[in-house]
Amino acid sequence: MNDAFDETVKSCAFINGPAVKEFEEQFANYLGAEHALGVSSGTDALLAIFMSLGLEPGDEVLVTPFTFVASASSIVRAGLKPVFVDIDENSFHPSAEQYARAVGPKTKAILLVHLFGIPNDMDAITALCSDRNLLLVEDCAQSLGTEWNGQKVGTFGDVSAFSFFPAKNLGCFGDGGAIVTNNAELASTIRTVRSHGAPTKYNTQMVGGNFRLDTLQAAILKVLLPALPQWLTKRQENAAYYLKHLRPTATLSLPESIEGHSWNQFTLLSNRRDELKQHLDENGIGNAVYYPLPLHKQPLFMDEMLVLPNVEKLCNHALSIPIYPGLTEQEREFIVQTINSFEEQR
Ligand SMILES: *Cc1c(COP(=O)(O)O)cnc(C)c1O
């Protein structure tokens, strides 16, 4: 790691240094994709994608409201309109049927979020997109390493976005992201958009930005990526431990162990979520509510008329507990005891 850092500093190739291309190739190989492009963050990955798809202002993109704000705000920043689709009652994602019902005359794309590391049903979703002639963008910020039928997510759609924010499955030392596609023409457009809309200097062809991945981050990611499979195994072991030892009750349900899940989050559903959260806080156990409010209930996207009952209910019940690879066996045990005893005390 220190070598990677020192080499970059010595070479002073801080922008577009050789490590960027090297990491891009390594990342594309890992996923089994043709093209990977390093970018400045997961948010910028999404923005650069929507700036590159050739859509018209006002075109609509279907998206879940149960996600991080960047999923939907990137659509808006590119002049497009997010249309929120309720999630399925028994999952954290909208189903293909729910997306299908939301398709209108202006719908051009689906932004599919593989939330918490859970794979969407890619058979149903890709069938829908080819039926209705919709572009499919995958938001894989939380799902690097997630698989559907043995194939990595991020390789099913037209193009996908990844984040290397430190809390994701692969984190760099700051902000970073990647865009992945098998479409050479789209990759070339995105490369242009990533660097001010100019394929070569003083040859500006379209509106772009500065969406580059720093050479330093790429050099660090090159060293870290080979460790990803180990970390994913750790996450899986932590999930298996919780699923074995946590006791579901009338008021507490555990997440489903879906094949290919990469467990970026382990999310409980509790009817007494706020009390349970307080109990964990009091015992010094890290926890987080993803997400306390769906996007259509936040001021920017507020739509008083829009009622999406499943997601609104889930926002009151979801609670994520620690699952990161560095979690120790003692910590796991303590977390399980603390939650089980809370449930018994009612
Ligand atoms: C983290 C995240 C992003 C944004 O990634 P950054 O690298 O933090 O900009 C986008 N979408 C989802 C679903 C995320 O979880």
295 CA to centre of ligand 1 in angstroms: 14
The mean per-residue pLDDT over the stretch 143-154 comes to 98
Residue 346 has pLDDT above 80, yes or no: no
pLDDT at 270: 97
344 CA to centre of ligand 1 in angstroms: 36
Residue 116 Cβ inside 6 Å of ligand 1? The answer reads no
Residue 2 has pLDDT above 90, yes or no: no
Residue 141 Cβ inside 6 Å of ligand 1? The answer reads yes
Are 267 and 291 in contact, with CB atoms under 8 Å apart?
no
**Of all atoms in ligand 1, which is nearest to the CA of residue 41?**
7
* Type of residue numbered 151: Q
- pLDDT confidence band for 8 (50 / 70 / 90): very high
pLDDT at 314: 96
Nearest CA among 211, 237, 320 for reference residue 276 = 320
Residue 345 has pLDDT above 90, yes or no: no
Per-residue pLDDT tens digits for 203-261 = 999 999 999 999 999 999 999 999 999 999 999 999 999 999 999 999 999 999 999 99
For residues 314 and 37, give the distance between their C-alpha atoms in angstroms, rounded to a whole number: 35
Are 268 and 252 in contact, with CB atoms under 8 Å apart?
yes
Share of the chain above pLDDT 90, in %: 97
The mean per-residue pLDDT over the stretch 47-72 comes to 98
- pLDDT confidence band for 1 (50 / 70 / 90): confident
Per-residue pLDDT tens digits for 79-121 = 999 999 999 988 999 999 999 999 999 999 999 999 999 999 9
Per-residue pLDDT tens digits for 302-340 = 998 999 999 999 999 999 999 999 999 999 999 999 999
Residue 165 Cβ inside 6 Å of ligand 1? The answer reads yes
Share of the chain above pLDDT 70, in %: 100
pLDDT at 187: 98
Residue 33 Cβ inside 6 Å of ligand 1? The answer reads no
165 CA to centre of ligand 1 in angstroms: 7
The mean per-residue pLDDT over the stretch 51-66 comes to 98
pLDDT at 280: 98
φ and ψ at 283, to 5 degrees?
-95, 10
pTM of this prediction?
0.98
Are 46 and 68 in contact, with CB atoms under 8 Å apart?
no
43 CA to centre of ligand 1 in angstroms: 6
Q: Is the bond into 291 cis (omega within 30 degrees of 0)?
A: yes
End-to-end CA distance of the chain: 50
For residues 328 and 270, give the distance between their C-alpha atoms in angstroms, rounded to a whole number: 24
Residue 43 Cβ inside 6 Å of ligand 1? The answer reads yes
Residue 67 Cβ inside 6 Å of ligand 1? The answer reads yes
- pLDDT confidence band for 282 (50 / 70 / 90): very high
161 CA to centre of ligand 1 in angstroms: 9
127 CA to centre of ligand 1 in angstroms: 26
pLDDT at 207: 96
Average pLDDT, the chain: 97
Residue 125 has pLDDT above 90, yes or no: yes
pLDDT at 320: 98
3-state secondary structure of 109: strand
Per-residue pLDDT tens digits for 184-198 = 999 999 999 999 999
Residue 70 Cβ inside 6 Å of ligand 1? The answer reads yes
